[in-house]
Amino acid sequence: MFKIGFIKLGNVASSLVADLALDEIAERTDIETKTLGFGAKMTTKEAERSAELNEWDPQMVVIVGANAAAPGPIAARELYKDVVSTVVVSDGPAKKDAREALEAEGFGYIILPFDSLIGAKREFLDPAEMALFNANCLKVLSVCGAVRLVQEELDCAMTSITAGDSDLPHILASPEICTERMDFQNPYARAKAMAALHLAQITGGINAQACFRLKELEHIALAAATGHEVMRAAAMLADEAREMEKGLDTVSRKPHARSGALLKKTGLLDKTAQV
């Protein structure tokens, strides 16, 4: 039985499903998961509290959340450095030198630049708006392949660790990489999915203006609203891409078998087969 632990510091859309995607119908018999979540907080205080996961003795730890270069995520990683195989799933850091530093320290990473910063300003954001943004972002990540990328790479890492190799992912995701994982049959559907990911990535820059640079209420509120509208447009494009594939009965599905093996099917009424 492979034991994989998840530490959720802060929140990005992929935080909502990173652990669930490994056992989507709760029937796998080859893994156990344990998740420590700290809500929206991601300070060094939460990082220190995450040390309790060590007591469970996991074989791999996944630290998922916003801004992996922030003090909280850095402190959490240090707890598991040289102790257990650790993978970072985050919206950053996207710069090459920061990613190389992660790899040099022995960490795996999956960077999703389109799992974008929310418009987290009191002048705009309330719980309903927060939930809507995450719902739209998660639709983009799910339809366009980012969720599958995370799921497949974590599955591969677990297989590698079981075999004694500890081969961890080092991936800066792109629209091309993610949409390739979804096996789109209609090139127009894939183009829409890629467009959705590009829009989602743009959203982060717009919301960063609202969160960190703008000072006047009107400018903050308008910028945050703009970012959220762009994410909504991205979700609509993703939905269109999915509907095009459904119309051709070519939606790619890759469920897990009880053993953890990856299965596949395309037609809705097809039987599943092993990948």
Alpha helices per DSSP H over 92-250: 96-104, 127-143, 146-162, 175-181, 187-208, 217-247
Euclidean distance between the first and the last CA atom of the chain, given in angstroms as a whole number: 22
pLDDT band (50, 70, 90) for residue 95: confident
Residue range 111-122: average pLDDT?
Answer: 96
Please name the amino acid found at residue 250: T
Q: What is the pLDDT of residue 182?
A: 98
In a domain, 215, yes or no: yes
* Residue closest to 111 by CA, chosen among 68, 155, 74, 151: 68
- Considering its fold, how many domains does the chain have in total? 2
Same domain, 67 and 135: no
In a domain, 266, yes or no: no
Q: What is the pLDDT of residue 120?
A: 97
Q: Whole domain around residue 140: which residue ranges? A: 120-144+182-251
Same domain, 140 and 153: no
Same domain, 213 and 98: no
Q: What is the pLDDT of residue 123?
A: 94
Same domain, 99 and 22: yes
pLDDT, mean over the chain: 96
In a domain, 90, yes or no: yes
pLDDT band (50, 70, 90) for residue 82: confident
In a domain, 70, yes or no: yes
Domain holding 163: CATH number? 3.40.50.10830
Rounded Cα–Cα distance for residues 72 and 117 (Å): 17
Report whether pLDDT(210) > 80.
Answer: yes
Please name the amino acid found at residue 88: V
Same domain, 128 and 98: no
Same domain, 27 and 61: yes
- Percentage of the chain exceeding pLDDT 70: 100
Per-residue pLDDT tens over the stretch 133-188: 999 999 999 999 999 999 999 999 999 999 999 899 999 999 999 999 999 999 99
Same domain, 80 and 68: yes
Q: What is the pLDDT of residue 1?
A: 93
Structure tokens at 152: 């497949």
CA angle 235, 196, 150 (to 5 degrees): 90
pLDDT band (50, 70, 90) for residue 13: very high
Q: What is the pLDDT of residue 183?
A: 98
Same domain, 98 and 132: no
pLDDT band (50, 70, 90) for residue 127: very high
Same domain, 152 and 223: no
* Residue closest to 14 by CA, chosen among 140, 122, 195: 140
